[in-house]
Amino acid sequence: MSDTDLSLMRDEWALRKLAMTYARCVDRGDGPGFAALFTEDAAVEGPGFRVQGYVEISGNPGMLKQMYKSTMHAIMNHTVTVTGDTAEGETYCIAHHINHPENGIYTRLDWAIRYQDKYVRRKGQWLYQHRQLLVEWTEVSPVTMIG
């Protein structure tokens, strides 16, 4: 395997790990850790929202913690094209959102998401420069909470 192949594999793994860390920070309500995954001027867009910059982006995990009892983002397909210190990619995710109980009943809102991502490498670290959520479908179902 050539040095170029190894370098590309390292970049692809670093970008996949970035997506998994994003999911972990969201689900744990870690605003500062979440914001650290982005450039200072980055933007995140989705249906009906746009946030930009560290202050706004760092508030996303806390906002979700207020809206839902819990969330779990499961990262699936992840494809990227690396060009030097920039990259573009697509990340599939099923985002599970447990609603606060109504009449003692919990429901789960699932979103099938395709993230459209733009990345930049700064000081050897890959960061999000732009992330757009495209929601393919949603589903609501009852759920039994354990613990």
- Are the C-beta atoms of residues 56 and 41 closer than 8 Å to each other? no
pLDDT at 2: 86
User: What residues have CB less than 8 Å from 17, skipping those under 6 apart?
Assistant: none
The fold of the 3-143 domain, in CATH, is: Nuclear Transport Factor 2; Chain: A, (3.10.450)
Question: Has residue 44 got a pLDDT over 80?
Answer: yes
* Residue 60 confidence (pLDDT): 93
> Residue 112 and residue 137: Cα distance in Å, rounded?
5
Q: What percent of the chain has pLDDT over 90?
A: 95
Q: Tell whether the model's pLDDT for residue 143 goes beyond 90.
A: yes
| Confidence bin at 4 (pLDDT 50/70/90) | confident
Domain ranges of the chain: 3-143
Average pLDDT value for residue range 3-8: 88
Tell me what the pLDDT averaged over the chain comes to.
96
Question: Which residues does 90 contact at the CB level (< 8 Å), separation at least 6?
Answer: 77, 78, 79, 114, 115, 116, 117
Q: Give the pLDDT mean for 121-127.
A: 97
Is the pLDDT assigned to residue 147 strictly greater than 80? no
The predicted model gives 69-79 an average pLDDT of 97
- What is the reported pLDDT for 76? 97
Give per-residue burial for 24-46: e unless 16+ CB within 10 Å, then b. ebbbebbbebbbebbbeebbbee
